[in-house]
Structure 1
Amino acid sequence: MLDHLKRSAAALALTAGMAFAAEDTITLGMALEPPGLDPTAGAAAAIDEVVYANIFEGLTRFGPDGAVRPALATSWDIEEDGKIYVFHLQDGVTFHDGTAMDGEDVKFSLDRARAEDSANAQKALFAGIEAVEVVDPLTVKVTLSSADGSFPFNMAWGDAVIVAPESIDGAATNPVGTGPFRFSSWTQGDRVEIERNPDYWGEPVALSKATFRFISDPTAAFAAMMAEDVDAFPNFPAPETLAQLAADPRFKVIVGSTEGETILAMNNKQPPLDDVRVREAIAHAINRQDIIDGAMFGYGTPIGTHFAPHNPDYVDLIGLSDYDPERSKELLEEAGVSDLKLRLALPPPTYARRGGEIIAAQLATVGIATEITNVEWAQWLEQVFKGKDFDLTIVSHTEPADINIYARPDYYFQYAKQDFVALMDKLTVTTDAAERSAILKDAQEMIANDYVNGFLFQLAKTGVANARIEGLWENSPTQANDLTAVRWVD
């Protein structure tokens, strides 16, 4: 009997130990698999959703509140009214392969990002850099061609992380950063696994391991949550099931905001979309609330320009492109356009696939036919984003405060009006908060009046997690699943 009790106690202790051990691991669901894991050479949001603040770090970083915080730079001095930034680096930082991180790596990273042959998707972030000088191993001086009060903000983007020349060539499949987690494995089509970095320079993370599972189908995502095959789904692709999950005490539903302006992007150089009357006709044919209700089950905030409603500089311009199908027909007639058929490329997210069907039906009522093509992200990036071979597409731009993309001459919707470029140039050299606010408001009004794109809604962040998990971001000031503060609680 005593032996039996001892064996039972040992089994119980072992079970408890196993349960305790499991409490420092987490499995997250993601709707999209990244095309690679190098954030300095790809535009897909799914890259940063795995690596931002987990594997890779920059000089600065975004906190969960959107504020710019120190990261690999402990502090920075601003000289010549914002034309020179002197960054003071953390001491004792190593990359995951054991090599030291110092000023030479910072110089390499910034020079690489701004190089003529750079593959960085946000190359404009680095365009103002005139020179990068290593003062000493822990001090880097960056000289800009003109003053830029937003430079620390720019350096917080995932595209601006610090990488090493020794490992960058393999970063797409074997990323080597300085973060609190290091890459473990990638089973393509299924999952990426990362593990705690025992040599991390900063505060150790609570989790010993994290797994990102790729589950694109909304029904499968719901089933995975119900079966507890995943512990959390920070960007849950099945909003129609949120009420059921919220009623289950095992889970908590996390609803917040994102930087994701969801747009019906138009190719502004593709006839007849090069005619503002045709673009305006398309805008007036769209019933935003029907899309929010039908595709997002009510989660989303209507927008009338490319700016987040939670931003203090937001201007409500929805009235410029309100739902008015009769006005759409009048504008098409004025433009001399009839029997119009446009190609509509839809990437994988549910907002695009479901929203695209609704928009196609709305356009049909004003006489615009659409040819829908469902494309995977790799094809979208190659054909639409790089090749500009499209008429219409639907995408959520999740980068923070990114209205400046409308000034880029090579950007995929091909706007870059000179008056708008001048506004962005003025914004770059302006440091006064009130003046910057006025410029941003003018910029919002210009692209809204030019009907550059069909502005649909601000993407909500709807997540689901085990009720005992804390530390996941409620809002998304950038595209990330930052696990640095995530832990299990009793």
Structure 2
Amino acid sequence: MNRKTLVLPAVVSLLAPVLAACGGSDGGSGSGDAIVMGTTDRFTVTKDAPAPFDPAYSYDVGTWNILRQTVQTLMIQPKGEGEPVPEAAQSCGFTDTGNERYACKLRSGLKFADGDAVTAEDVKFSIERARTIKADSGVFALLSTIDTIETQGDNEVIFHLKTADATFPFKLSTPVAGIVNPDDYEKDKLRDGFSVDGSGPYTLKAETDGDEMTKAVFTKNPNYKGTLDVNNDQVDMVSYEDADAMGTALEKGDIDLMTRTMSPEQIQKLSDAAATGDIDLVELNGLEIRYLAFDTTDPAVKAKAVRQAMAQVVNRSALVSEVYGSQAEPLYSLVPATLTGHSNSFFNTYGDPSVAKAKSLLADADVTAPVKLTLNYTTDHYGPATKQEFEVLQKQLNDSGLFDVTIKGSPWDTFVPAERKGEYAVYGMGWFPDFPDADNFVAPFLDKDNFLKSPYSNTDIIDNLIPASRREADRLSAAKSLTEIQDIVARDVPVLPLWQGKQYVAANNDVTGTAYVLNSSATLQLWELGRGVSN
């Protein structure tokens, strides 16, 4: 983590007033003691996604930022880094030598926000509900190693697993394992709309404009019983049209802090400013990755040689330098370089970018160049630099003479349904890990029921290598299986990793706790925020 104190006037010209927040800006100093946070995440209810905040459906960093504040889990990721620790549970652990029986004892006095007691049956109901509904987001796959769930009395839950899974404690820390009240959630149906009811540190009130949530009001839950120290009574999250509008709100004092997503130019301006002033910028090493995904059955990219040629042409270093500068690093695997089990498989396979080698790959497979492709990206989910990133990718591929690439951007609420329906041959995605383990950078993309709905299937990965890696409680010992997985991905190219990035929080200097407001999976921990002297 790198923390810098920065001067606000230096960014005034950058953060010029543009579009106002869709929900207005009646926050900041005008909201009493509430801490007000800006975000560019957009939360909408649509025909294709009518239940964005249901734990059995939600599977993106924005909606998980809502659920982590409101829905309690048995385990939780710690304040810094490390193994998950008990939260709703008093204790959890494997009770057999084969790591296939995992038992949790609940804390005494657990209550939902409405005062109802939380029982072991509620935990069982919540997790079995997600497994039963099998939402098209694919989040239920995080629970795929569960065979059966048993309760003993009101306070003990026992998970019997199909196979050993050393990552299972991490999975119990994710929102899909969040505990919900059977009185509020149907067993076999998603809960539509923006309502969330749980036993977490906050309750949620959603302010809306039509089918869009403009502000999330998090109020401290008086019935919360858990391990977290809640350092504030209320946090308001206001959604903005874009990074400039959010930055302007910070400059004007309408919000106290901002995070997802700032533009590279904003971050650079903040970073270059003087070492004293009114704004703090917190830089954290992130596990966010960006990549291209392929529908390997689409005629445009069905030939493996086309995907391999793209991997051979794309210049990650130039892409990162031109668009993100020091805020990102080239990535040569799905697994970030900072995680145990990482291997530079794409570099080992393709080396430096080479048009000549790419031309040979296509010629050997009798693929006629130029190959015509459309690269699809989302315009409003991964930050304002996404369009520029795809313009650079387009130029790199077209300049090779081997491709005829066009690019097309769509808003997130239409991009995701189209991707899940298989409408894109090639599309850009980002990944914020569910938990900080290499397994979570391979299984969600390559296992059965993968969240991309990818038709790519490798039986060795699914049947042998992923299970083998999960059997290793010592994650260093899983490196062999994980490396083999990464080498296969580099060879077959069902996805093409591009870069990994850092995370940033900018805040007024009377806001404390900003160094811990994002966990190692880049999701929010609003309970860490308070008021005082932050530096």
TM over 0.5: yes
Residue 408 of structure 1, aligned match among 447, 453, 464: 447
Q: Secondary structure at the match of 1:258?
A: strand
TM-score (norm 2): 0.82
1:481 aligns with 2:524: yes
Write the distance in 1 (CA, Å) between the matches of 2:161 and 2:321. 46
Match of 1:190 in 2: 214
1:220 aligns with 2:245: yes
Write the distance in 1 (CA, Å) between the matches of 2:136 and 2:121. 20
Amino acid at match of 1:61: I
Write the distance in 2 (CA, Å) between the matches of 1:373 and 1:164. 42
Show the 5 A alignment for 1:122-201. Answer: 122-168=139-185, 170=191, 172-187=193-208, 188-201=212-225
Contact kept, 8 Å, 1:315 with 1:441, in 2: the verdict is yes
Write the distance in 1 (CA, Å) between the matches of 2:222 and 2:318. 50
Structure 1 position 204, deviation (Å): 5.0
Residue 466 of structure 1, aligned match among 508, 512, 522: 508
Structure 1 position 120, deviation (Å): 5.9
Moved more, 68-77 or 344-353: 344-353
Residue 32 of structure 1, aligned match among 30, 41, 48: 41
Structure 1 position 116, deviation (Å): 6.0
Identity %: 20
Q: CA RMSD in A?
A: 2.3
Match of 1:15 in 2: none
TM-score (norm 1): 0.89
Q: Secondary structure at the match of 2:289?
A: strand
Q: Secondary structure at the match of 1:113?
A: helix
Write the distance in 1 (CA, Å) between the matches of 2:137 and 2:496. 27
Moved more, 149-158 or 411-420: 411-420
Residue 413 of structure 2, aligned match among 367, 375, 378: 378
Match of 1:58 in 2: 73
Q: Secondary structure at the match of 2:326?
A: coil
Structure 1 position 119, deviation (Å): 5.2
1:245 aligns with 2:254: no
Structure 1, unaligned runs of 5 or more: 1-18
Moved more, 364-373 or 65-74: 364-373
Residue 461 of structure 2, aligned match among 400, 408, 420: 420
Match of 1:41 in 2: 57
Structure 1 position 298, deviation (Å): 3.1
- Greater C-alpha Rg: 1
Moved more, 112-121 or 353-362: 112-121
Q: Over residues 219-271 of structure 1, what are the superposed CA-to-partner deviations in whole Å (9 max), with x where a residue is unaligned?
A: 22322222222211123421212243342611111111222221011222222
Q: Secondary structure at the match of 1:254?
A: strand
Write the distance in 1 (CA, Å) between the matches of 2:137 and 2:143. 10
Moved more, 163-172 or 246-255: 163-172
Match of 1:324 in 2: 354
Write the distance in 2 (CA, Å) between the matches of 1:292 and 1:329. 24
Structure 1 position 398, deviation (Å): 0.7
Structure 2, unaligned runs of 5 or more: 1-27, 45-51
Residue 337 of structure 1, aligned match among 347, 352, 368: 368
Write the distance in 1 (CA, Å) between the matches of 2:321 and 2:110. 48
Amino acid at match of 2:234: K
Contact kept, 8 Å, 1:31 with 1:215, in 2: the verdict is yes
Write the distance in 1 (CA, Å) between the matches of 2:198 and 2:143. 20
Show the 5 A alignment for 1:306-325. Answer: 306-319=334-347, 320-321=349-350, 322-325=352-355
Amino acid at match of 2:369: S
Q: Secondary structure at the match of 1:206?
A: coil
Write the distance in 1 (CA, Å) between the matches of 2:58 and 2:416. 9
Structure 1 position 207, deviation (Å): 1.4
Residue 93 of structure 2, aligned match among 77, 91, 96: 77
How many pairs are equivalent? 470
Q: Over residues 334-378 of structure 1, what are the superposed CA-to-partner deviations in whole Å (9 max), with x where a residue is unaligned?
A: 332323221221112234322111111111112322232211222
Write the distance in 2 (CA, Å) between the matches of 1:317 and 1:23. 52
Write the distance in 2 (CA, Å) between the matches of 1:40 and 1:374. 28
1:398 aligns with 2:432: yes
Match of 1:359 in 2: 393
Contact kept, 8 Å, 1:27 with 1:232, in 2: the verdict is yes
Q: Secondary structure at the match of 2:159?
A: strand
Contact kept, 8 Å, 2:333 with 2:497, in 1: the verdict is yes
**Alignment CA distance shift 1:129-1:409 (3 Å):** closer
1:114 aligns with 2:131: yes
Match of 1:346 in 2: 377
Amino acid at match of 1:268: T
**Alignment CA distance shift 1:114-1:486 (3 Å):** same
Amino acid at match of 1:340: V
Contact kept, 8 Å, 2:517 with 2:526, in 1: the verdict is no
